Amino acid sequence: MEWGLIIAGIIIAILFFANVRIVPQATEYVIEILGKYKTTWGAGLHVKIPIIEKIAKKITLKEQVIDSPPQPVITKDNVTMQIDTVVYFRIFDARLYTYGAVNPISALENLTATTLRNIVGELELDGTLTSRDTINAKMTSILDEATDQWGIKVNRVELKNIIPPAEIQNAMEKQMKAERERRETLLQAEGHKAAAITRAEGDKQAMILAAEGERDARIARAEGEAKAIYLKKKAEADGIREIREAGADSAVLELKRYEALVSLSNSTAAKLIIPTDAVNAVSSNVLFTETTGIGDITKPAPKPVPKPPADPCCDDK
């Protein structure tokens, strides 16, 4: 009897430990009882009933990636290109994921391909090449809405590569080369234009500065000449004032007049016209000179040599 209890205890312990399950983090187990959905185990320690309960599916809740191979897609302008996509998704409902579709991953891949063909079929080649963000957004919205019944949440869709035909690639390369050459020409023209404007501005500033310098130099020369004339006239005025203070007005003025006449007559081509007042002045000056003796430059006549006295002896003979 005791041995029977021990054996039964051992069997119960084996069955218990055999049916203990530890569910990892970010993982869920779908449990069925007699072939029917019962519950979903989350992370932690669980014990299932032997034989009656079973684990139908183990599902990870982490984000997953589907990298679809390149597939042919025809654009609106009948250009066939190869496009491959990358879909990022995660499972948010283990029950729907288990019972919503036979193979949810395959269904998602096929849905991605058909959605891509529908969207690109409405665009032309240039629009397809320049509208990646628009295509990604539309595909994400459509796939996310369609996969809700499968317990799948589509986070984002990215176009990995867009490969047009070889002749289209050659035409695009030529177009890009022509566009780059055009931009280079425009940039060179803009550079030449800027350089010409800069040179013209420099020449303009140089001419303005030169004109200002010439103007300042002329002003300085004029001021110097005016000052020199002023100082000369001032010196003459001071000399006349001193002469007047010395009391020799008439005589000095007459001498100045003579000096002016002499300087005028020094020129070989000069014609000297003496007015009446000048003749009167000369006459009065002669009278003044004879009276005072000032200004008389005529040398006096030599005195006569006296005759020697007569010699009585020789004269008689």
Are the C-beta atoms of 112 and 135 separated by less than 8 Å? no
**Residue 48, token pair as written in the block:** 């299932």
Q: What is the pLDDT of residues 60-89, one digit of tens each?
A: 999 999 998 898 999 988 888 999 999 999
Quote the percentage of the chain above a pLDDT of 70.
Answer: 76
Q: What is the mean pLDDT of residues 279-292?
A: 49
- Banded model confidence at residue 4, pLDDT cuts 50, 70, 90: confident
What is the pTM assigned to this prediction?
A: 0.55
CA 141/CA 282 separation, integer angstroms: 127
Contacts of 41 (CB under 8 A, 6+ apart): 21, 23, 28, 29, 31
Identify the residue whose tokens are 């020697």.
Answer: 308
The mean of the pLDDT values for the chain is 80
- Nearest to 52, CA basis, from 66, 31, 71, 76: 31
**Mapped to the 3 state alphabet, what secondary structure does 122-139 carry?**
CCCHHHHHHCHHHHHHHH
pLDDT of residue 250: 62
Contacts of 66 (CB under 8 A, 6+ apart): 86, 87, 89, 105, 108, 109, 112
How many other CB atoms sit within 10 Å of the CB of residue 96?
A: 17
* DSSP tag of 149: G
Q: What is the mean pLDDT of residues 5-9?
A: 76
Using alpha carbons only, how large is the chain's radius of gyration in Å?
65
- Banded model confidence at residue 147, pLDDT cuts 50, 70, 90: very high
Question: Where are the domains positioned within the chain?
Answer: 2-60, 66-164, 166-224
Written out in words, the top-level CATH class of the domain with range 66-164 is alpha beta
